[in-house]
Amino acid sequence: MELLSKIISVIVMPVIGLMFALALVAFLWGAFEFMQGSANEQNVKNARDKMLWGVLGLFIMAAATGIVNVICKTVGCN
């Protein structure tokens, strides 16, 4: 169990945190492009797509964090 706990705390959680940050950056980048490109319909569509993928990434990373926590509590790691 100690090995699993170390793997989760040293590898898995930092990777999830990094992916969470990247999803947030993608969303914010899309929001910025949405505000800047309101004159061009193609730019607005691209910005909406980035925002959608960013939000989807945020939800996936939140779910991954929850799944890791449930697994960790189930098997008894800290």
Mean pLDDT of all residues in the chain? Answer: 93
Which residue's structure tokens are 């939140």? 62
The confidence score (pLDDT) of residue 69 equals: 93
The confidence score (pLDDT) of residue 52 equals: 98
Give 40-58 pLDDT, tens digit per residue.
899 999 999 999 999 999 9
Residue 22 in this model has a pLDDT that exceeds 90: yes
Asked whether residue 78 is domain-assigned, the answer is no
| Reported pTM | 0.84
Asked whether residue 24 is domain-assigned, the answer is yes
Domain range enclosing 7: 2-73
Asked whether residue 55 is domain-assigned, the answer is yes
Provide mean pLDDT across the span 29-39. 91
Asked whether residue 52 is domain-assigned, the answer is yes
**Total of domains in the chain:** 1
Contact 72, 5 (CB under 8 A): yes
